[in-house]
Structure 1
Amino acid sequence: MAVAHIILLKLKPSVTEEQGHDILEAVVALKDKIPDVMESVHLGVNFAARAKGFTHGFTMVFKDKAALETYDKSPEHIKVVQEIIRPNIDDIIAFDYEIEDYSIPRL
């Protein structure tokens, strides 16, 4: 069963818009650096007032839990987290769930 991996980032106030963009580019590049595990990645900058200070986010869809685990343990992912994400954030939320059949919109 497919798995959604949602990450919300609260960037430090000192992080520039360009640096925020660079973080998102590093995340999306992981799709090609870790082949055959990630089905899709969607990312962007928050515009809602109710985000409690979280500024950037992304959602990745993986084939299954094993693919997510492969991604989590990959050196490429670890490097992006340690060198690019963590030094630039004040907080992070991770939320993973299996995508159930009833998630499909019904008309």
Structure 2
Amino acid sequence: MAIAHIILVKVKPSLSEDQAQDMLKAVAAIKDQLPGVIESVHLGTNFSARSKGFTHGFTMVFKDRAALETYDKSAEHVKVVQEIIRPNIEDLICMDYDIADYSIPRL
């Protein structure tokens, strides 16, 4: 069953939008560094007034939980989290879920 991995972050106020975009680009680049592990990645800047201060987010889709685990333990992911994400954010929330069979489009 396909898995959705959603991350929302609050970037530090001192971080410029260009720097925040560079952070998102580093996340997106992991897909190419781990061929066949990440099905898709979608990233962006929040524009909703209901975000509770979360400024940026990304969603990744994985074929299954094993692929998510491979990603989570990979050196590429660990490096981006430790060197790029954590130093530039105030808070983070993560949600992983099995994508329901009745989702549209079905994966």
Does 2:50 match 1:50? yes
Alignment correspondent of 1:80: 80
**2:7 & 2:35 partners in 1: Cα distance?**
20
Q: CA deviation at 1:103?
A: 1.4
| 1:100 aligned onto 2:104 | no
Q: Distance in 1 between matches of 2:89 and 2:78?
A: 15
SS at match of 1:102: coil
AA aligned opposite 2:81: V
User: Structure 2 length normalisation: TM-score?
Assistant: 0.96
Cα RMSD after superposing both structures:
0.7
Structure 1 unmatched ranges of 5 or more: none
Q: Deviations over 1:31-63 (max 9, x none)?
A: 000111100000100000110110000000000
Number of equivalent positions:
105
Where does residue 65 of structure 1 map in the other structure?
65
CA distance in 1, matches of 2:59, 2:15: 21
Alignment partner of 2:42: what SS? strand
By how many angstroms is 1:28 displaced?
0.4
Aligned-pair identity in percent equals: 73
Stretches of 4+ aligned residues off by more than 4 angstroms: none
